[in-house]
Amino acid sequence: KDKEEDESKEEDSCSQQNRASRKKNYQQKNSDGKKAGEEGSRQRERGKKAPTKDQKESENKEKKTNKKEKEGDDKQKTDRKNSTTSSSNSSDEESLSEEELAMLMEQVEQKKKLISTMRNKPWRMMKKLSVLREAQAFVEKFEGALGKGKGKKLYAYKMMMAKKWVKFKRDFDNFKTQCIPWEMKIKEVESHFGSSVASYFIFLRWMYGVNLVLFGLIFGLVIIPEILMGMPYGSMPRKTVPRAEQATAMDFSVLWDFEGYIKYSALFYGYYNNQRTIGWLKYRLPMAYFMVGISVFGYSLMVVIRSMARNANESTADGDDDNFIFSWKMFTSWDYLIGNPETADNKFASITTSFKESIVDEQESNKDENIHLRRFLRVLANVLIICCLCGSGYLIYFVVKRSQTFSKMQNVGWYERNEVEIVMSLLGMFCPPLFETIAALENYHPRIGLKWQLGRIFALFLGNLYTFLLALMDDVNEKLAEEDVVKNITHWTLLSHHNSSVGNGSTATPPPLDPADVPRGPCWETTVGIEIVRLTVSDILVTYITILVGDFIRACFVRFMNYCWCWDLEAGFPSYAEFDISGNVLGLIFNQGMIWMGSFYAPGLVGINVLRLLTSMYFQCWAVMSSNVPHARVFKASKSNNFYMGLLLLILFLSLLPVAYTIMSLPPSFDCGPFSGKKRMYEVIQETIELDFPLFVAKIFSYVANPGLIIPAILLMVLAIYYLNAVAEAYQRANAELKKKMQMQREEEKNKRNNKASTNPVLQDLEDLFTPSTKSESHLKEAEDKKIDSPNRTSPVVKQDKAAALGGSPMTGGRGTAFTLPPHMFMTRPPTPHVWAPYPGQPRPRGYPLGPVPGRGRGQPRY
Amino acid sequence: FFFFLLVYRLHGRYHEMAPNVVPMDYTKDPDVKLPMQLIINMPELKENPFRERIVESFSEDGEGSLSFNDFVDMFSVLSEMAPRELKAIYAFKIYDFNTDNFICKSDLEKTLNKLTREELTAEEITLVCEKVIEEADMDGDGKLGFADFENMISKAPDFLSTFHIRI
């Protein structure tokens, strides 16, 4: 026994030394090597040993009980006192009987469990340390006796790899979020203006992504091949500026109108040649042009619908977790990782905004006033708005009619020429605020109000769009008529040129006519393209100027004139502008519609749009942050911005219609564009099939295009849609049912708890302090433990403090008491759970010297 | 091993805060405590609205001064490896401002004011507090006991990700 005590002391001093060396190491690092040379290196060696030990201990903690057998043995291996301990253990082992062995096993298991759950206990570090130490000593002692272990190293390695992997994944996630463009910008806007404003910017970003893809498609497959491999500028009439325009073709005012050199560039439809293949690659440009035109629509449709479906999925996926909105916001919204004042400011702002959003939601759901009055008001508002829409529709119709008569007359004034545009922009300016005033009658939740507002303005703008289209159509028809005439003239000119050269009686080959001199048709496709590009550009400018004047100048004025004004500008009339979500979203959507419509006739349009979106992202972010104020009622954006997507889909469809119409039923111009010389644009496909594919493919196509096949296919699709719809409905119903059940269950649980709590509130109180892991113990035990625990917490005992200060290195001393308890003492103890109850309250036999190391105070009883 | 490194680093931090008070060598079991003022000025805690509460709930005497043991304790609970139950217990302590083992309305109000820097109106605060109690209070005593709190927090999706400090 004495020998063992000695050992323990030795061990303890050893560990102390270890710790000392560690501290010294630290000092060394800091104070640049007080001790140098051999001594230092030896210390380092020791320092290295200490961590390995620590590792064991920390892993001990994490270990589950099923690994129990393996540890002890390994521990012994690593132990410096390896031989002596094992010998003493083995001597004990021989004296054990079978029953005792089993008991021992059980105890060891319990200790193990304690060690593994040690982390989870809300004890003070000191208590943890002492309990841990004791338990470890016990386990260590007996596991060697009972078990054998292998694979410890493998396990450690695995743990390490798992940790590394987790860390890597986290870093990778961080990296990924950093890669999302403008994420920080949008987050910043969101934290100050709420998720509804941020939803606009997210939508803008999404749009930018889509446009980037379209841009890549068009540039990669149409424009770049044309520039690289097509005939160069000036080689043929369609690629040359006509003689009459050449003088002014480089003027800025001309270029600004997209005439002159820009008109005869690869940005527009008319520049492309109808040569079937170009360059050494035999690139089939007309075919590519057609396919890209189609696939722009195809891709957009696919993307919009896919994102709609995903949004719908998301909104159903996490729709049921709304039981604890406020609690979660209250207790989990602060991110404890934040250590940067700016981020913290943002976080405060965002938490406040999110609270406000939820409050608005809550107030809305609580409102139940006069329902009849509300209904009446809503009906009234809708009637008013429909009147407005009808009136504006009629006004547009009237103006368009008038403009047609004006266009036939000569010498009309500036107003008459621009009447349509003026009326349109006036309508666009005054109707939305009018709608907003009317919408105030309805008193909707702002989110729903926004949707209504969007829908109404959308309806208004549709009129705008369609008058524009009608005007274009008229234009096109005119151009078509004109074209027939020009066609003859061109024919005649070429012929006469030929004739004249022949008539001169010289050589058979006439001198080539300069391409700039050839009379040419109006090329309606390019006209349409130019029209749309102009509209887009002016739209961009108007948007930016509105932001600059309406928001920035106003904000500056309000801000700086407030000092010398007779009323409070900030609170009073002009004040700061709010961010106009509906207007901006609609602007974006209509702009996109224009892009879709125009991209077939002006391939360069998408490039302009990409630029526009890029600049407006930065510009609007800046404008919002610098000169707007948050809405009076900040509201949460709906989880899925499917409403925006729905509008986008609608506009996509609407812009698809005119393009499809022109492709299918208007003849292309005879002297410009990739399809010149064909009756219809789609003939390019037939041509490719006939010329480039084997015969049977052409046959198959002709069969497939048979109406007898198409009509059944459409029927089949309709049936499939019907079926899927029915299935979806059934699922929805089932979902609602399940939700109801869950709600009911929750209520039931609440009630049950209510009853329980009323019967035994004391128990409840006691349980509060403890983790689930200790709940298995009897409540008596808990009470006892609490009694002991609480004085510790409230009244600082000097000795305890001492010990606490000592515990600075929580695990190195772990072996200190390891060898102090003679092994056979444990066999006398019954294996009850009380044995491993919290240490200080535990009645334990102290017949043997515990071997407290002087001055460490760990093994000493605390009471 | 990781744990060792962590403690090593923590000691470095602890020492850094008051180099003349904290000894480098812990073998001579010095009785050292750092006052709250020093602790809450750590960059990790400086911006935290609950910094006083955090330090208080981890200090042994409840006054806010931390011994090194408490210090280690604090960061082990707030580390990523700490289990959810343990975090929940200390979160409960932190949000329990008046240390009566319940989160009652006044605690909630204090929490809310700290979170929003007192930018909400009085009605809004009462509304939110009422909502929280209504949502999370299972036993109907008008305040949140630990069982309520744990039940609520165990379902929260981002509790684990937000309630930790990296050091």
Give CA angle at A704 (A703, A706), nearest 5°: 70
Orientation angle between helical segments A581-598 and A285-317, nearest 10 degrees = 150
- Contact between A520 and A672 (Cβ < 8 Å): yes
Confidence of residue A784 (pLDDT cuts 50, 70, 90): very low
A139 pLDDT exceeds 60? yes
The one-letter amino acid code at A284 reads R
Q: Is residue B52 part of a domain?
A: yes
- Point out the residue among A58, A761, A807 whose CB comes nearest to the CB of B69: A807
Record: contact A808-B146, CB cut-off 8 A: no
pLDDT per position as a tens digit, A382-409: 888 888 888 888 888 788 778 777 767 7
Instruction: Kindly report, residue by residue over A533-567, the tens digit of the pLDDT.
Output: 888 888 888 888 888 888 888 888 888 877 777 77
Domain check: are B93 and B37 in the same one? no
Minimal CA separation from B141 to chain A, in Å? 9
Q: What is the pLDDT of residue A449?
A: 80
Claim to verify: residue B118 and residue B48 sit in the same structural domain: no
Residue A804 has pLDDT above 70, yes or no: no
Closest by CA to A847, choosing from A828, A830, A862, is: A828
Q: Do B67 and A801 touch, CB atoms closer than 8 A?
A: yes
Minimal Cβ distance to A326: which of B3, B101, B132: B132
Tokens 């805060």, residue located: B17
- Report chain A residues whose CB lies below 8 A from the CB of B116: 348, 351-352, 355
Question: Alpha-carbon distance A80 to B136, whole Å?
Answer: 54
> Which among B48, B78, B108 is the end of a domain?
B78
Do B4 and B44 have their domain in common? yes
Report the pLDDT value the prediction gives residue A56, as an integer from 0 to 100. Answer: 41
pLDDT in tens, A820-848: 444 444 444 444 444 444 444 444 444 44
Which residue of chain B has the CA closest to A346? B116
pLDDT band at A296 (very low <50, low <70, confident <90, very high): very high
| Share above pLDDT 90 across residues of chain B, in percent, rounded to a whole number | 0
The reply to whether B132 falls in a domain is: yes
Q: Which residue has the higher pLDDT, A84 or A673?
A: A673
Name the residue range of residue B105's domain: 84-162
Q: Are B43 and B53 in contact (CB under 8 A)?
A: no
Contacts of B158 in chain A (CB under 8 A): 328, 332
Q: What's the confidence (pLDDT) of residue A737?
A: 92
Residues B56 and B114 in one domain: no
B167 within a domain of the structure (yes/no):
no
Q: Would you state the pLDDT for residue A299? A: 93
Token pair, residue A356, equals: 């406000």
Of A55, A125, A769, the CB nearest to B72: A125
B47-76 per-position pLDDT tens digit: 778 888 888 877 776 666 777 777 777 777
- The span from the CA of A469 to the CA of A480, in Å, is 16
Q: Does A348 touch chain B (CB under 8 A)?
A: yes
Among B57, B78, B99, where does a domain finish?
A: B78
| φ, ψ (nearest 5 deg) of residue A577 | -80, 150
Give A603's DSSP letter: T
Give B140→chain A minimum CA distance, Å: 6
pLDDT in tens, A154-172: 777 887 888 788 888 878 8
On whether both B88 and B136 belong to a single domain, the answer is yes
Is B109 found in the same domain as B142?
A: yes
Chain-chain contact of B26 with A806 (C-beta, under 8 angstroms): yes
Cα dihedral A610, A612, A613, A614 sign: positive
Q: Is the pLDDT of residue B113 over 60?
A: yes
- B157 & B94 share domain: yes
Whole-structure pTM value:
0.65
Work out the mean pLDDT of chain B and round it to a whole number: 75
A628-629 and A577-578 strand pairing:
parallel
Q: With CA atoms as reference, report the closest residue to A354 among B116, B153, B125.
A: B116
Cα separation values, A27 from A229, A467, A785, A792, Å: 72, 82, 41, 34
DSSP string, A51-81: HHHHHHHHHHHH--GGGHHHHHHHHHHH-TT
Q: Which of A328, A819, A485, A597 is nearest to B154 (CA)?
A: A328
At A667, which amino acid appears? P
A610: pLDDT strictly greater than 60: yes
When pLDDT is averaged across residues B125-137 and rounded to a whole number, the result is: 80
CATH code for the domain in which residue B117 is found: 1.10.238.10
**For chain A, what percent of residues have pLDDT higher than 90?**
8
Residue B93: closest C-alpha in chain A? A769
For residues A338 and B47, is the Cβ–Cβ distance under 8 A?
yes
The amino acid occupying position A411 is N
Report pLDDT for A247: 77
Amino acid at A453: Q
Write the single-letter amino acid at A854: P
Token pair for residue B90? 């200390």
* Residue A688 CB neighbours (<10 A): 17
Residue A749 touches partner B, C-beta closer than 8 Å: yes
**Residue with tokens 């008229």, as numbered in its chain:** A474
The one-character DSSP state at A221 is I
Does B74 share its domain with B88?
no
Query: Which of B25, B48, B78 delimits the end of a domain?
Result: B78
- The answer to whether B155 and A321 have CB atoms below 8 angstroms apart is yes
The mean pLDDT of A101-108, rounded to a whole number, is: 72
User: Which residue from A794, A805, A856 is facing B31, i.e. has the nearest CB?
Assistant: A805
Residues in Cβ contact with A48 at an 8 Å cutoff, skipping those fewer than 6 apart? none
pLDDT at B142: 75
DSSP collapsed to 3 states, A280-302: CCCECHHHHHHHHHHHHHHHHHH
Domain membership flag for residue B139: yes
Interface mutation target, options A327, A806, A856, A860, chain B, most CBs of B under 10 Å: A327
Out of A137-141, A514-518, A671-675, A785-789, pick the least confident: A785-789
Q: pLDDT band for A612, please (50, 70, 90 cuts).
A: very high
Contacts of A343 in chain B (CB under 8 A): 47
Rounded CA gap, A198 and A459, in Å?
24
Contact A19, A809 (CB under 8 A): yes
Q: A58 and B2 in contact by Cβ < 8 A?
A: yes
How distant is the Cα of A769 from the closest Cα of chain B, in angstroms? Answer: 7
Report the distance separating Cα A782 and Cα A762, nearest Å: 12
Domain count, chain B: 2
Segments making up each domain of chain A, as ranges: 99-171, 183-317+524-705, 707-749
B72 min Cα distance to partner chain A (Å): 8
A-chain residues near B140 (CB < 8 A): 750, 754, 757
**Chain A residue with minimal CA distance to B45?**
A339
Q: By mean pLDDT, which of A263-272, A362-371, A842-851 is the weakest?
A: A842-851
Across A814-823, B74-83, B101-110, least confident range: A814-823
Query: Rounded to whole angstroms, how far apart are CA atoms A745 and A726?
Result: 29
- Note the pLDDT of residue A29: 40
Would you say residue A509 has pLDDT above 70?
no
Rounded to whole angstroms, how far apart are CA atoms B99 and B90? Answer: 12
Q: Say if residue A6's pLDDT is above 50.
A: no
Number of neighbouring beta carbons within 10 Å of residue A136: 26
DSSP characters over A671-727: SSSTTTTSSSTTHHHHHHHHHHS-HHHHHHHHHHT-HHHHHHHHHHHHHHHHHHHHH
Contact A122 B119 (CB under 8 A): no
Nearest to A685 by CA among A394, A298, A286: A286
pLDDT above 60 (res B16): yes
Whether A334 and B48 lie within 8 Å, measured CB to CB: yes
Q: Does B70 share its domain with B101?
A: no
Q: How many angstroms away from the CA of A194 is the closest CA of chain B?
A: 14
| pLDDT tier, A508 (very low <50, low <70, confident <90, very high otherwise) | very low
- Centroid of chain to Cα A468: 37
Could you say which of A339, A764, A792 has the minimum Cβ distance to residue B139? A764
Indicate the SS3 state at residue A636.
coil
Residues 6+ apart with CB under 8 A from A198: A186, A187, A189, A190, A637
pLDDT for the residue A514: 66
Position A88 scores a pLDDT of: 42
Average pLDDT over residues A679-703: 82
- Which letter does DSSP use for residue A507 in this model? -
User: What CA–CA distance (Å, rounded) separates A457 from A435?
Assistant: 8
Distances (CA, A) of A720 to A208, A715, A716, A727, A748: 34, 9, 6, 11, 42
* Mean pLDDT confidence for A498-507: 50
Q: List pLDDT tens digits, range A313-352.
A: 776 555 445 567 777 777 777 777 776 777 777 778 778 8
SS (H, E, C) A712-743: HHHHHHHHHHHHHHHHHHHHHHHHHHHHHHHH
Q: Given the structure tokens 């690593």, which residue do they identify? A: A78
Nearest CA distance, B115 vs chain A (angstrom): 6
Instruction: Find the mean pLDDT for residues A456-483.
Output: 79
Q: Which carries the bigger pLDDT value, residue B32 or residue A82?
A: B32
CB nearest B47 (choices: A344, A764, A792)? A344
Contact B70 A124 (CB under 8 A): yes
DSSP string of B112-163, one letter each residue: HHHHHTT-S-HHHHHHHHHHHHHHH-SS-SSSB-HHHHHHHHHH-TTHHHHS
Q: What is the pLDDT of residue A829?
A: 44
A291: Cα within 13 Å, side-chain hemisphere: 12
Residue A84 pLDDT exceeds 50: no
More confident residue, A28 or A177: A177
At A461, is the pLDDT very low, low, confident or very high (cuts 50, 70, 90)?
confident
Beta carbon pairs, A and B, within 8 Å: 239
Residue A494 burial by CB count (10 A; 0-12/13-18/19+): exposed, middle or buried? middle
Q: Are residues B44 and B90 both part of a single domain? A: no
Q: Where would I find the H helices in A771-841? A: 779-794, 798-806, 824-827
CB-CB neighbors (< 8 A) of A317 in chain B: none
Q: Please tell me the number of Cα atoms within 13 Å of A63 on its side-chain side.
A: 27
Condensed to tens digits (0 to 9), the pLDDT of residues A188-229 reads 887 778 777 888 888 899 999 999 999 999 999 888 888 888
**How would you class A704 by CB atoms within 10 Å of its CB: exposed for 0-12, middle for 13-18, buried for 19 or more?**
exposed
Handedness of CA A818, A819, A821, A823 (dihedral sign): positive
ipTM: 0.83
Please tell me which residue, A783 or B87, carries the higher pLDDT value. B87
Q: Is A19 on the interface with B (CB under 8 A)?
A: yes
Average pLDDT (A230-247) is: 77
Name the packing angle between helices A82-95 and A68-78 (round to 10°). Answer: 130
On whether both B119 and B67 belong to a single domain, the answer is no
Return d(Cα A421, Cα A89) in angstroms, integer: 100
Q: Which residue of chain B comes nearest to A789, CA vs CA?
A: B60
Q: What is the pLDDT of residues A760-778, one digit of tens each?
A: 544 554 455 444 444 444 4
Q: What is residue A122's predicted lDDT score, i.e. its pLDDT? A: 54
Smallest Cβ distance to A810: which of B43, B72, B157?
A: B72
Q: Mean pLDDT for chain A?
A: 70
- Check A805 against B30: CB less than 8 A apart: yes
> Is the CB of A334 inside 8 Å of chain B's CB atoms?
yes
B25 within 8 A of B62, measured Cβ to Cβ:
no
Contact B165 A336 (CB under 8 A): yes
Does B7 share its domain with B74?
A: yes
The DSSP bridge partners found for residue A628 are A577
Cβ pair A220, A214 in contact under 8 A: no
